[in-house]
């Protein structure tokens, strides 16, 4: 592939596709509060709606489109693999799956990989793996998994139970037993929980945390906290599980979020950016806690030739094109620009934080201005953003975003704030 083809080219303008939101809403379950935009094509960090209007995409499918839209490397991989073999059962060896697993093992602390379709499934697998380890190795009859307040781990019944936010659990009870919540970045809460929950047949078997909380407001993990936590887990035999669904695969500026914290998890998960927008999830573990046997866990579509070939293309592109350097530089540029805007609106903006290209701008809790207000105002300026809770605006562009595109997004945020304040 020649260098000039590495950057996606803007597509030729096409005729607008008629779109009827009323018929859409009649046929599709109303599980999303959608913004009034129908997107139909994209290239790089830009997308176009059915009216032909162009937007700079700082949502990236919610931290998923690693290489943006219609990237030539992905287009080539999709075409090549679809013409070759797209799906077979895991009853057979799948070379593309083995190659992707080998890449992950060589570029992480993992020894083994299980592939599925989403972050929720990967986290569900981590919960199952931790429970089997607790029963078969730690001899715990009723294992407990500690998770954090304001966390987010998925939408399956077990993962919304693991999610420490009641709003996601409302009306879905009875929830899955075996979870207990502690404050994030509070090591004394971990120590107290491990001590107090050790009673009879009940015992803490694992701690499951995000290195940086995404849906919980883009809140980075404290390095000292995680290093102390790793020591506690080593001393007690408690498994340390990291949910890297949102921060993994380069979004933090490092390949994995745990590298930011200077510790290695026993089990960790990935999805979103791993496939660059093609549905794939992965559960990774160290050898000592890989207790799954044939029949314990499975996924019909997980790790098929199609998704693994594309994910491997994304992984190799990140490495060969040194995309992490761009993530670090553009992240610093974005945070500096957001802090300059915050200095102009000290009554409205209280914090700017994040790693690499996952960043949040927090609003004053005591004023009526919300994250959705800013997102809607930014849409009017031609930039797509996404909330991370009611008071945090999240910035998660594709990892190939340019300096000029970051400046455009910053200008849009400044104009949005000016229109609202």
Active site residues: 152, 243, 272
Please give the order of strands across the beta sheet that includes 39-43.
39-43, 46-49, 54-57, 383-384
- The span from the first CA to the last CA of the chain, in angstroms, equals 48
CA 324, CA 289: separation in Å to the nearest integer?
Answer: 30
CB 309 within 8 A of CB 115: no
Q: Is the dihedral of CA 301, 44, 256, 413 positive or negative?
A: negative
Instruction: For residue 45, give the nearest of 415, 397, 408, 416 by alpha carbon.
Output: 397
Residue 417 token pair = 């704030």
Q: H or E stretch including 127?
A: helix 119-136
Q: Which two tokens stand for residue 5?
A: 């083809």
Q: Under a CB-based contact definition with an 8 Å cutoff, are residues 153 and 120 in contact?
A: yes
Beta bridge partners of 148: 182
Rounded Cα distance, 4 and 40, in Å: 25
Q: How far is CA 45 from CA 68, 175, 218, 377, in A?
A: 5, 39, 21, 19
Contact between 221 and 263 (Cβ < 8 Å): no
**Could you write out the DSSP letters of every residue in 218-276?**
SEEPPHHHHHHHHHHHHHH--EEEEE-TTTTTTTTSSSSTHHHHT---SEEEE-GGGTT
CB 125 within 8 A of CB 114: yes
Whether the CB-CB separation of 269 and 126 falls below 8 Å is answered with: yes
């Amino acid at each position: 592939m020649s260098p000039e083809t590495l950057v996606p080219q803007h597509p030729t303008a096409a005729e607008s596709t008629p779109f009827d939101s009323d018929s859409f809403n009649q046929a599709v379950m109303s599980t999303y509060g959608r913004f009034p935009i129908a997107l139909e094509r994209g290239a790089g960090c830009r997308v176009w709606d059915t009216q032909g209007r162009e937007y700079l995409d700082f949502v990236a499918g919610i931290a998923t489109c690693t290489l943006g839209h219609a990237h030539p490397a992905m287009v080539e991989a999709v075409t090549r693999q679809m013409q070759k073999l797209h799906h077979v059962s895991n009853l057979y060896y799948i070379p593309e799956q083995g190659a992707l697993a080998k890449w992950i093992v060589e570029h992480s602390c993992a020894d083994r990989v299980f592939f599925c379709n989403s972050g929720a499934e990967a986290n569900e697998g981590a919960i199952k793996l931790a429970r089997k380890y607790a029963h078969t190795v730690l001899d715990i009859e009723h294992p407990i998994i500690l998770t954090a307040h304001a966390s987010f781990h998925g939408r399956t019944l077990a993962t919304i139970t693991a999610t420490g936010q009641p709003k996601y659990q409302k009306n879905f009870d009875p929830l899955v037993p075996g979870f207990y919540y502690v404050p994030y970045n509070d090591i004394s809460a971990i120590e107290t929980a491990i001590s107090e929950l050790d009673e009879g047949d009940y015992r803490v078997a694992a701690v499951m945390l995000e290195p940086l909380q995404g849906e919980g407001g883009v809140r980075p993990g404290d390095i000292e906290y995680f290093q102390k936590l790793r020591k506690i887990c080593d001393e007690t035999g408690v498994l340390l599980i990291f949910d890297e669904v949102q921060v993994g695969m380069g979004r933090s500026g490092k390949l994995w979020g745990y590298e930011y914290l200077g510790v290695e998890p026993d089990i960790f998960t990935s999805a979103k950016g791993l496939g660059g927008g093609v549905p794939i999830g992965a559960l990774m573990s160290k050898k000592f806690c890989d207790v799954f046997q044939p029949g314990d866990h499975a996924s019909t579509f997980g790790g098929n030739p199609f998704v693994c070939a594309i994910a491997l293309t994304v992984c190799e592109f990140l490495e060969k094109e040194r995309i992490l350097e761009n993530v670090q530089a553009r992240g610093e540029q974005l945070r500096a620009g957001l802090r300059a805007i915050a200095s102009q609106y000290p009554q409205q903006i209280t914090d700017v934080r994040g790693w690499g290209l996952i960043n949040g701008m927090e609003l004053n809790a005591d004023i009526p201005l919300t994250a959705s207000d800013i997102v809607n105002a930014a849409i009017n300026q031609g930039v797509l953003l996404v909330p991370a809770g009611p008071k945090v605006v999240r910035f998660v562009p594709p990892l190939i975003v340019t300096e000029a595109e970051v400046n455009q997004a910053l200008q849009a945020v400044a104009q949005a704030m000016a229109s609202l304040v």
